[in-house]
């Protein structure tokens, strides 16, 4: 496939600005979806790390959504010539807490866009940088990495990505069993219209997956929750995560972790024992 990478890269530096409010109802929703034992934070209390995904939800009209349910235009990304997209990783810096009730402002910028050729064909990697401000100043900086890929051939045999084995010398371990209801509720809570997370027929017949795909931010949140549950009283200052392979609703997955001199390292592990996500964190 011929891709005009110069045209796509000409959009680097494009910025938009949005406002929102750190309202209470999404906090109650996150407490339910992730079956948290503690009550949802109240007005004036800090939003747990990662829960800011409930704010600035995408509000693209139906007329601009593509076959996969995601917008084909708008935001800082140019219209992509490759139809499939996957969450590839995230890097956060938590500068200061977001408090429930805060007025929020977010700056979003297309920071990078690269063309690569791999074993699965042509891919475009993008980095979108976001900065979230409260009335007290900068609260969160995040770089979100996304990969755009060629259309899948549903008739071709599925190729499982190679996974490195997960470490066994870990201090923390928790198992999640994602099901249709949980993935749908998380899609609704974050207003994520990507059909691979709730439309099984589409996910399997059009994109060639063995089942519904667990949201990258969902499994990432499981890692963040593992950190704060096992290191109480410690604030997560930075979190850098790389997605290695998708997880599905067809089997439980496990999150594991251990402390390090700088903070901690955590992994999401698929049912085959291979690494699906790996992340490191610094704490204070």
Q: CA 68, CA 83: separation in Å to the nearest integer?
A: 8
For 76, which DSSP code? S
pLDDT value at residue 1: 65
pLDDT value at residue 49: 96
Q: How many helices (H) and strands (E) does the chain have?
A: 5, 10
Report the residue count for the chain.
284
Of 31-40, 117-126, 259-268, 275-284, which range is least confident?
A: 117-126
Q: CA 202, CA 218: separation in Å to the nearest integer?
A: 20
Q: Which of 71, 74, 68, 64 is nearest to 197 (CA)?
A: 68
Quick one: average pLDDT of 85-91? 93
pLDDT value at residue 248: 97
- Backbone torsion region of residue 237, taken as left when φ is above 0, otherwise alpha when ψ lies between -120 and 50, otherwise beta: alpha
* pTM confidence score: 0.93
Chain position carrying tokens 């008739």: 155
Could you tell me which residues come within 8 angstroms of residue 276 by beta carbon, excluding any fewer than 6 positions away? Answer: 163, 219, 243, 244, 245, 246, 247, 253, 267, 268, 269, 270
The interaxial angle of helices 180-189 and 25-33, nearest 10 deg, is: 160
Of the pLDDT bands very low, low, confident and very high (cuts 50, 70, 90), residue 83 is: confident
pLDDT value at residue 130: 97
Sheet containing 15-21, strands listed edge to edge, beginning at the edge strand earlier in sequence: 15-21, 103-118, 121-134, 137-149, 84-94, 236-243, 275-283, 263-269, 253-259, 172-176
Task: For residue 34, give both structure tokens.
Answer: 């992730």
pLDDT digits (tens, 9 = 90+) for 149-204: 988 776 665 555 677 899 999 999 999 999 999 999 999 999 999 999 999 999 99
Dihedral Cα 191, 197, 203, 207, nearest 10 deg: 80
Of 2-6, 119-123, 198-202, which range is least confident?
A: 119-123
Q: Which of 54, 85, 81, 88 is nearest to 68 (CA)?
A: 85
**Helices of type H across 62-154:** none
**Between 73 and 250, where is the model more confident?**
250
Of the pLDDT bands very low, low, confident and very high (cuts 50, 70, 90), residue 80 is: confident
For 62, which DSSP code? G
Mean of the per-residue pLDDT values for the chain? 93
Q: CA 225, CA 268: separation in Å to the nearest integer?
A: 12
pLDDT digits (tens, 9 = 90+) for 7-26: 999 999 999 999 999 999 99
Q: Is the pLDDT of residue 124 over 80?
A: yes
Q: Quickly count: other Cβ atoms within 10 Å of residue 269's Cβ.
A: 24
Q: CA 238, CA 94: separation in Å to the nearest integer?
A: 6
Q: CA 251, CA 257: separation in Å to the nearest integer?
A: 20
pLDDT value at residue 120: 74
Write the DSSP assignment of 185-217 as a string of letters.
HHHHHTT---GGGT-HHHHHHTS--SSPBPPHH
Q: Quickly count: other Cβ atoms within 10 Å of residue 105's Cβ.
A: 17
Of the pLDDT bands very low, low, confident and very high (cuts 50, 70, 90), residue 2 is: confident
Q: Is the pLDDT of residue 210 over 80?
A: yes
Quick one: average pLDDT of 85-90? 92
């Amino acid at each position: 496939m011929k891709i005009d990478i110069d045209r796509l890269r000409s959009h680097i530096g494009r910025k938009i600005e949005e406002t929102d409010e750190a309202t209470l109802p999404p906090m109650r929703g996150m407490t339910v979806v992730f079956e948290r034992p503690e009550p949802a934070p109240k007005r004036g209390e800090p939003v747990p790390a990662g829960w800011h995904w409930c704010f600035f939800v995408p509000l693209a009209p139906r007329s601009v959504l593509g076959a996969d349910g995601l917008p084909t235009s708008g935001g800082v990304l140019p219209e992509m010539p490759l139809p499939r997209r996957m969450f590839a990783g995230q890097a956060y810096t938590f500068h200061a807490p977001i408090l429930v009730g805060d007025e929020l402002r977010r700056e979003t910028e297309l920071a990078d866009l690269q063309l690569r050729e791999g074993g699965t064909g042509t891919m475009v990697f993008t980095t979108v940088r976001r900065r979230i401000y409260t009335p007290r100043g900068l609260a969160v900086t995040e770089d979100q990495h996304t990969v755009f890929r060629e259309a899948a051939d549903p008739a071709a045999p599925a190729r499982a990505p190679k996974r490195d084995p997960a470490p066994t010398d870990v201090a923390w371990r928790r198992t999640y069993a994602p099901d249709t209801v949980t993935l749908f509720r998380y899609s609704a809570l974050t207003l994520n219209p990507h059909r691979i997370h709730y439309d099984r027929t589409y996910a399997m017949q059009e994109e060639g997956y063995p089942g519904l795909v667990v949201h990258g931010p969902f499994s990432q949140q499981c890692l963040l929750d593992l950190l704060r549950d096992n290191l109480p009283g410690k604030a997560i200052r930075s979190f850098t995560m790389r997605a290695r392979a998708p997880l599905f609703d067809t089997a439980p997955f496990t999150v594991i972790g251990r402390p390090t001199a700088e903070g901690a390292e955590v992994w999401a592990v698929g049912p085959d024992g291979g690494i699906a996500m790996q992340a490191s964190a610094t704490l204070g």
